[in-house]
Structure 1
Amino acid sequence: MATPAEEIEVDDRIVRVTNPDRVYFPERGWTKLDLVEYYLSVGDGIVTALFERPCMMHRFPTGLAGDKVHQKRVPAGAPPWLETVRVHFPRYNRNADELCVTELASVIWAVQMSTVEFHPWNSRRADTEKPDEWRIDLDPGPECDFATVQRVAHVAHEVLDELGATGWPKTSGGSGMHIYVRIRPDHGFQDVRRAALAFAHEVERRSPDVTTAWWRKDRHPADLFVDYNQNARDHTIAAAYSVRGFPDGRVSTPIRWDEIDDVDPHDFTLQTVPPRFAELGDLHAGIDDAVFDIALLLEWADRDDLPPGDGPE
């Protein structure tokens, strides 16, 4: 028999969680309710990461042992208080009303709908075509060790300092690292992507084990790819504090720059991150107060003669 549903109080909302004892992470025995309790424990952090952004839900309806569903559209029957944002997909000439988190109850509703991972856009609903977040994705090749990721993160930090930009690092929850920079929403996706490529080229100049080659066949397996294409329209990566769909329940976790050399991504799980959050708070809490203008990076792109839309999207 199914376990009775539980009613979870989230601020002034009640979210009904069905099948709370369903095991989502068989390797650790963690359940749907464990996932709910995790997101409640990092509430301020996950809401800041997702706030007013179109958000794709990565759902596991029967847990990690079953199939994964990438869901853009909020399904019929969502509660009337749940907010959405409409985005257009020109390739298919279709619209989608995507989840738009404005409060923690929206996150818990998504978990009730079997969402494990949250993948937001880098723009907000005020103007979904103008990103306000530049994402630096340090993506190691199959033979690239994490020590290289750590070393290149310091190079990226050095370049950011020279630009006068504040970077907010986090583990990816996988084998890499992400650095976010809040930017003025003055440019479209093509310009932001071009600026990101100019930055990646500068990091590549300073580090022999970095590549910006788009095609995998043109990369050495031991190289680290600075994936500038994560700034293209409708490309999303796991949010800060998002659990990832790995058996050990790893979390994409904000870290301090002085933690880079000692960090091990496997240490951050839905079990270990809550006490860390309780002690340190949200390490990305100030991100909206450190806004950067990408104009200088676009000058670098002109210097390097990077054409608009360089590389496939």
Structure 2
Amino acid sequence: MADDAIELEVDGRPVRLSSPDKPYFAELGVTKRGVAEYFLAVGPGILNALRDRPTTMERWPGGVREDVVVATRADGRGEAFYQKRAPSSRPDWVQTTTVAFPSGRTAVEVAPADLATILWMVNLGTVRFHPWPVRAPDTDLVDQLRIDLDPQPGSDFAMAVAAALELRQVLADAGLTGFPKTSGGRGVHVFAPVRGADFIAARHAAIAVGRELARRMSEQVTVNWWKEERGERIFVDFNQMARDRLMTSAYSLRPTPRGLVSAPLHWDELPQVQPSDFSILTMPARFAEQGDLWQDLEDAGPGSLDTALEWYERDAAAGEGDLPYPPEYPKMPGEPPRVQPSKKNPANWQE
């Protein structure tokens, strides 16, 4: 087949787009070129979301289809996959930086500083971006506290919205300013700019904020790591603040046939919307009218984690210390045994 690639001019750089007519969201009539045009339409917003941040690419090079298998750690044969390391064959203008994983190994990742680099990532089939909460060159210094409100079976988006509205006040009580967005699915994400902190402190702050929210909404919210203990509540996924556990960026596309978008919001509109309101088809017009609603996040002065960390120490003194890390992590200092409660026994658990 002849190469039908086209060239896009993006901020003065030529960016090659191969197979522009390949269906990407076939039910919507959106091709690969349509995906590129979407990201150009929300360019200032996606650039704000990713600028200088090491970013894992979620690549769907064959387009988004329900029959596509996503590669996992256990089975890497899927057609769609997550790519952490920057490809070795890349233009010399593509920006990168070095990150350290929990294992101590390091890798060079793409850290886009311009829209051309983001469109180059789109050409690789990237539809969803997963940026670290750090910026190059200091990739050990967290500058965003990110709270993931994740509806469990039996709960829904409306419950996540209610939790987010209360979370706004919890963050304010901690001296932090939160900014909401849809996750692209049923959940809500709230980000708060913070002065530089290490990953352990940031995760402890997320645990403390989650616990405070759960106290205020005990019937609706939980921080229980084990699924068997969560019930029909909103789970505050504190481990999204662990090193190399990443959340979807604003303006990313959810790789499902409807092409929903992780959409930045104003707080006052949060109770009025549904995730389905924001898609690859509707977001460009919204962006043209309102611009990047999270420009305020970029402009906001960073807050201190001190109060949240004081809450963490208070809770630890009362017997509520650290919580389990993700399963791929090495054993961490102060972490309780990674044994689900139904399997606790003297051989595998020490109080």
Normalising TM by the smaller chain, what interval? Answer: over 0.9
Name which of 274, 289, 310 aligns with 1:279.
289
CA distance in 1, matches of 2:266, 2:275: 13
Contact 1:3 1:21 in 2 (8 A): no
- Counterparts of 1:131-280 in structure 2, within 5 Å, are 131-185=142-196, 187-207=197-217, 208-220=219-231, 222-280=232-290
Where does 1:20-59 land on structure 2 (aligned, <5 Å)?
A: 20-59=20-59
Amino acid at match of 2:204: R
Residue number in structure 1 paired with 2:330: none
- The answer as to whether partners of 1:73 and 1:97 remain within 8 angstroms in 2 is yes
Alpha-carbon distance, 1:116 to partner = 0.7
Q: How does 1:99-138 map to 2 (within 5 A)?
A: 99-138=110-149
Fraction of identical pairs, as percent: 44
How many residue pairs end up in the alignment? Answer: 310
Q: Does 1:311 align with 2:321?
A: no
- Of 76, 86, 89, which aligns to 2:88? 76
Residue type at the aligned position of 1:30: V
Q: CA deviation at 1:243?
A: 1.0
CA distance in 1, matches of 2:257, 2:102: 36
Q: 1:95 to 1:161 in 2, by over 3 A?
A: closer
- Tell me, in whole angstroms, the C-alpha distance in 2 between the residues paired with 1:213 and 1:95: 31
Q: Is the 2:312–2:321 contact (alpha carbons within 8 Å) kept by the matching residues of 1?
A: no
Does the CA contact (< 8 Å) of 1:194 and 1:310 recur in 2?
no
**Residues 34 and 135 (structure 1 numbering): CA distance in 2 closer, same or farther, change over 3 Å?**
same
SS at match of 2:295: coil
Structure 1 residue matching 2:192: 3-state secondary structure:
strand
- Comparing 303-312 and 265-274, the one that deviates more: 303-312
Secondary structure at 1:305's aligned position in 2? helix
Instruction: Give the unaligned 5+ runs of structure 1.
Output: none
Instruction: Report which of the two structures shows the higher radius of gyration computed on alpha carbons.
Output: 2
Tell me the distance in 1 between the aligned counterparts of 2:246 and 2:274: 23
For the 8 Å contact 1:3–1:20, the answer to whether it is kept is no
The 1-side partners of 2:185 and 2:210 are apart by: 20
> Cα offset for 1:164?
3.0
Q: Using the alignment, how far apart are the partners of 1:74 and 1:159 within structure 2? A: 38
What is the RMSD computed on CA atoms of the aligned residues? 1.4
Task: State the AA in 2 paired with 1:279.
Answer: E
Code of the residue aligned with 2:170 in structure 1: it is: V
1:170–1:254 Cα contact (<8 Å) kept: yes
1:224-255 Cα offsets, whole Å, 9 max, x none, are 10111110000101101111111100010000
TM-score, normalised via structure 1 length: 0.95
Counterpart Cα distance in 2 of 1:309 and 1:152: 22
TM-score between both structures, scaled by the size of structure 2: 0.85
Offset, 1:125: 1.6
Provide the secondary structure at the position in 2 that maps to 1:118: strand
For residue 85 of structure 1, what is the aligned residue in structure 2? 97
CA distance in 1, matches of 2:279, 2:152: 23
Q: How far, CA to CA, are the matches of 1:2 and 1:135 in structure 2?
A: 45
Conservation of the 8 A alpha-carbon contact between 2:150 and 2:188: yes
Pick closer, same or farther for the CA change 1:90–1:189 going to 2, 3 Å. closer
Matched, 1:64 2:64: yes
* Offset of residue 123 of structure 1: 1.0
For residue 33 of structure 2, give the secondary structure of its aligned residue in structure 1: helix
Distance 1:148 1:95 in 2: 39
Greater mean alpha carbon deviation, residues 20-29 or residues 112-121: 20-29
Could you tell me whether the CA contact under 8 Å between 1:190 and 1:309 is conserved in 2? Answer: no
Q: Deviations over 1:47-67 (max 9, x none)?
A: 111111110000011111232
